[in-house]
Structure 1
Amino acid sequence: MNDALAAVWYAFAEGRLHFRTRAALEAHQERLARGHLRWVVAHSPAVAARFQSAGLSPQQWRTLPPTAKADMMANFDQLNTAGLHLSDVLALARHAEDGRDFSGQLRGAAASAFAGQAVTVGLSSGTSGTQGAFLVGVQERQRWAGVMLRRLLPPPVWASVMRPQRLAFLLRAEGGLYRSVQSRRLSFSFLDLLRPVPDLAAALTAANPTLLVGPPSVLRALLNAGASARPARVVCVAEVLEEADRAALEAGFGPVVQVYQATEGLLALPCRYGTLHLNEAHVHFDLEALGEGRWRPIITDLRRRVQPMIRHRLDDILQLDDVPCACGSAARRVARIEGRQDDALVFAGGGGQPVTVWPDFLRAALNRVPGLREYRLEQSAPDTLWLLLDPDALPTRTAAAAEVTAALARAGADTERIDLRFGPLLPAPPGAKRRRVVRRAFSELPVLKVNSEVKS
């Protein structure tokens, strides 16, 4: 079966994975986990070593101490089951990024579980401080594309796949995950974010996509540059989607939905009503409480085998919505992807204790500043916060300082001990992710404490 047919098959198969009760969903996850964990432990020395070190069997995977991206990269050669070396993966991925040709693949080593099979490689953007490499096998790539088609094409999916669909991806790196499933009815355009905005706007207009995928800041910039398109859906990826961006994109392009994906996998997708749900038919989520209704995910991907993700802790901050969705799915609803935990700011409180200030509070505060087009907040020291503004004018500075100071005070920070500094917001490099709230590394910063509460 070729890639295009396989992706369509997975798209229809995804329709059978609609669980209306948590009990049915969790039973499905447990069935997947039993076979998957046995296979992974048998083929990934790094995962086997984690279980052995913890004194646990694969059946006890739910209590395995979590790992993180830095650990994954440090043990990359022993983690992946295709026998690939990190040096080779990085060399190919960086060559692809430099030459803007993402068609290259590696082949699984002769003695590996994927001997001779094609493996797609890529890099994360590295905005979290640790650049991640990802590996995806042929079947994984087909399933990934099929699941995306099922969730993103306008319902009913059988009608959508019978009509010509033009998908336009505005991405830093194409990664090869979708182009291989191109067919007579399904065409993909990769619009390179390194191109100048006017060129991208013209290319988007010419592509006239039925489905448009990209970071919200880029999509809005293209809209402002005169891009014209009326896709059935606009899919926002890679950045926090703010309400002002959603409203502008819906007015200019069409209905907006969101996808939550990362180096670590395909993590949340919209249902037919546009509500974002955790991808729990394929990924198990444990959620660590961060306080104030915020959670940090620990994921176990129950499908990926080339690069296993077993009890892998992400740095993202999620807010969930407990109200049942009209679609009837038991998969949990994501109310908001707030960003990364390392972008939460930490200042001293009135008694000297560390106080966490979540990015959402600061974004909401600056959204009230009249005339502010764009901004970035950077905490560069325990007592220093930079406000980089566009426009960087006295009225904007005055209003921004008042709003930020009030937000910090509401969060419990001692504003008398915080030095607010100002500067102009410089243009971001082409292809860079937008980060509006940033905490720079400095040794004096208290470590954010995680509540002991964890829910599966």
Structure 2
Amino acid sequence: MSKLTTLFRYIFTPKKFHNRQKIEKIQNRGMKKQIKFVRKNSPFFARHWKGLPDDEWSKFPLIDKSIMMDNLSDLLTVRLDVEEAKVLADNAEKTRDFSPKIGPYSIGYSSGTSGSRGMHFVSEKEQSEWAGFMLARGLDGSIFSKHKIGLILRANSNTFESVGSSRIEFKFYDLMKPLEEIHESILRDKLDILIGPPSVLRYLADVKSPLKVKKLVSAAEVLDEIDRKQIEQHFGQIVHQFYSSTEGEIAATCEHGTLHLNEEIMVIQKQWVDEEKGWYHPIISDFRRKTQPIIRYRLNDILVTSKKPCPCGDARESIEAVMGRQDDIFLIKKIGEEGYEQVIPDFIRRAVMQMHPSITAYCAIQKSADEIEVQLLPEGLENISYEGFDQVWQKMRTKTPKITVADYTFKPSATKLRRIRRDFEL
């Protein structure tokens, strides 16, 4: 991987944009070039867009994970053996050696939290550019200063291995290992920046870790408010965030902790869930990703747009929260008619937090159409209130499902934490 390319991308990635016009100019230029390149080199997209002019790309038919995986070989802009790639990725998962590649291309799996695993294919040039971009978005201080960055991840990446230098050192901590061992390694390595899932950062706060770092970054899971408060209280600093998926790096926080969309590398359109409340599914079009194009790709995530400007002054659009996934919407039987009402994760989250003022952690799991299990910490809470749930059922005009309080079972690991999830399908 070219460190010169990484440096170039770092230098030319603005810390802030002062007006929307500059962002839109970059996006228009980027998408114009990207559509031409992809139509020429991806057999799938050439078919998918047949008869549609390039300048109407914003209305092109959507794709999602299932469409991408069903057409993966033809979707790529290079001809690679996808079956060989799957064998390589499977072997990497088993051996925990993520260095093998197919030529200049790195391959990996997503975590599969949505029920199906995606795959990503990235060239060495894309890795170099990605590294420079993420360092620009997440590195406090200069790239020419010394930094030791810790990454608590489910899987290591060739990117981190190759971008390291005498000044920037990456340390990988495998989530497949025991948390106590990870904690000891982190303390021993004396990091400047620690990036990891909020469930692990919360574990470090709960065990009163003496860890001292300049910056904490939550990644790979949704940062719930209950975890953010506990982590920030223990470590005495803002918990920053990288909001990313297999399909792209979507947002990162500014110095105030506000998530700003990475609009200089992608266009993010909105498919409204509730426009009045600002809830939407992001439709992403990445104009820098070449090997595995992501254009008009609808994510299952539900984002909450910010209704006020961030005090940092950045013109990149900001979001208040990543509310959860479409898959995590609870389905509750309607009253007086057939069918189910969709209850978004935010309503469930608020109802859970009204159950008791001493709750420090929770998981709400819809087991069936008639039963919800709520796991709470600390255990043994008395005088539990269900009033918050009753208000939701009355407002949504649904039947009242059975709610069972159970022991808290989640342990931070390679399995992602989803505090609110639905475990059944209709």
TM category (shorter chain) comes to over 0.9
Aligned-partner Cα distance in 1 for 2:52–2:21:
25
Given the alignment, which residue of 311, 314, 317 partners 1:329? Answer: 314
Aligned-partner Cα distance in 2 for 1:58–1:317:
28
Classify the secondary structure of the residue corresponding to 2:220: coil
Aligned-partner Cα distance in 2 for 1:370–1:330:
38
After superposition, residues 260-299 of structure 1 pair within 5 angstroms as 260-291=243-274, 292-299=277-284
Q: Which residue of 1 aligns with 2:12?
A: 13
Classify the secondary structure of the residue corresponding to 1:168: strand
Aligned-partner Cα distance in 1 for 2:93–2:189:
23
Aligned-partner Cα distance in 1 for 2:411–2:45:
38
Give the conservation status (yes or no) of the 8 Å contact 2:193–2:213. yes
RMSD of aligned residue pairs (Cα, Å): 2.1
Aligned-partner Cα distance in 2 for 1:216–1:403:
29
Give the conservation status (yes or no) of the 8 Å contact 1:198–1:222. no
Offset, 1:33:
0.9
Given the alignment, which residue of 343, 349, 362 partners 1:357? Answer: 343
Cα pair distance change 1:147/1:378, threshold 3 Å: same
Give the conservation status (yes or no) of the 8 Å contact 2:303–2:323. yes
Q: Which residue of 2 aligns with 1:305?
A: 290
Q: Which residue of 2 aligns with 1:341?
A: 326
Aligned-partner Cα distance in 2 for 1:80–1:98:
25
| One-letter amino acid of the structure 2 residue matched with residue 409 of structure 1 | W
After superposition, residues 79-228 of structure 1 pair within 5 angstroms as 79-107=75-103, 118-154=104-140, 157=141, 160-228=142-210
Classify the secondary structure of the residue corresponding to 1:266: strand
Give the conservation status (yes or no) of the 8 Å contact 1:346–1:355. yes
| One-letter amino acid of the structure 2 residue matched with residue 374 of structure 1 | A
Percent pairwise identity: 33
Cα pair distance change 1:275/1:92, threshold 3 Å: same
Offset, 1:347:
1.3
Aligned-partner Cα distance in 2 for 1:411–1:10:
50
Offset, 1:125:
0.7
Aligned-partner Cα distance in 2 for 1:339–1:361:
11
Cα pair distance change 1:441/1:86, threshold 3 Å: farther
1:237 aligns with 2:219: yes
| One-letter amino acid of the structure 2 residue matched with residue 237 of structure 1 | A
**TM-score, length basis structure 1:** 0.87
The runs of 5 or more residues in structure 1 that have no matched partner are 108-117, 444-456
Aligned-partner Cα distance in 2 for 1:87–1:336:
37
The runs of 5 or more residues in structure 2 that have no matched partner are none
Aligned-partner Cα distance in 1 for 2:205–2:375:
24
Aligned-partner Cα distance in 2 for 1:284–1:34:
12
| One-letter amino acid of the structure 1 residue matched with residue 184 of structure 2 | A
Offset, 1:208:
1.6
Offset, 1:411:
4.3
Aligned-partner Cα distance in 1 for 2:425–2:2:
47
> For residues 15-50 of structure 1, what are the alpha-carbon distances to aligned partners after superposition, in whole Å with 9 as ceiling and x for unaligned?
2x8443333322221111111110111000011110
Cα pair distance change 1:213/1:19, threshold 3 Å: same
Aligned-partner Cα distance in 1 for 2:368–2:208:
40
Aligned-partner Cα distance in 1 for 2:13–2:413:
36
| One-letter amino acid of the structure 2 residue matched with residue 24 of structure 1 | K
Cα pair distance change 1:79/1:26, threshold 3 Å: same
Q: Which residue of 1 aligns with 2:366?
A: 379
**TM-score, length basis structure 2:** 0.93
Q: Which residue of 2 aligns with 1:32?
A: 30
Give the conservation status (yes or no) of the 8 Å contact 1:380–1:442. no
Give the conservation status (yes or no) of the 8 Å contact 2:153–2:196. yes
Aligned-partner Cα distance in 2 for 1:232–1:100:
29
